Homo-oligomer: A and B are copies of this chain.
Amino acid sequence: MKKRPSTVCPIVYALDIWGDPWSLVILRDVLIHNKRHYREFLASRERISTNILSARLQSLVEAGLLIKLEGDTNRAQTMYRPTQKALDLFPVVFAIMHWGLKYNPNTDMTIPIMQELTTNEKALELRLLENFDDVTS
């Protein structure tokens, strides 16, 4: 990922942080699917490779979207959790999902979230946010 000099445009600012093809996939897994471990991210359908995953996790930590924690029981089991800055991406992620939902004929509507997204987005957001009480408190 190229780095542009500090920008005056909010969109370019956002793109410079998560505007590559992988960061948003990771953020989706964190925000929507409540994943937190390296192995969980690796297991996603999109088959991210280990070096890219590692690099993206690092850059998201640097950008202040994720924090890296030692596992509770096992100290080797690193845990990645979102910051408020990442949680504020919910509206973005939802907007993208709405758009994808409208135009991707292959969308899997059996994914639990999908139904609720169209019928009750606000409740969905609030429910998902509960996953991060540990972070926001």
Q: Does A42 contact B (CB under 8 A)?
A: no
A99 near B1 (CB under 8 angstroms)?
A: no
Chain A contributes a number of interface residues (CB within 8 A of B) equal to 44
Question: Which residues on B sit within 8 Å (CB–CB) of A28?
Answer: 9, 11
Q: Is the interface of A mostly helix, strand, loop or mixed?
A: helix
Please tell me how many copies of the chain the complex holds. 2
B1 near A101 (CB under 8 angstroms)?
A: no
Give A contacts to B, CB under 8 Å.
1-2, 4, 6-16, 19-21, 24-25, 28, 45-46, 85, 88-89, 91-104, 106-108, 111, 114
Interface CB pairs A-B, < 8 A, 18:
A1-B21, A4-B46, A7-B45, A8-B107, A10-B98, A10-B99, A10-B100, A10-B101, A12-B46, A12-B100, A14-B96, A20-B20, A88-B99, A88-B103, A89-B99, A91-B99, A92-B92, A92-B95
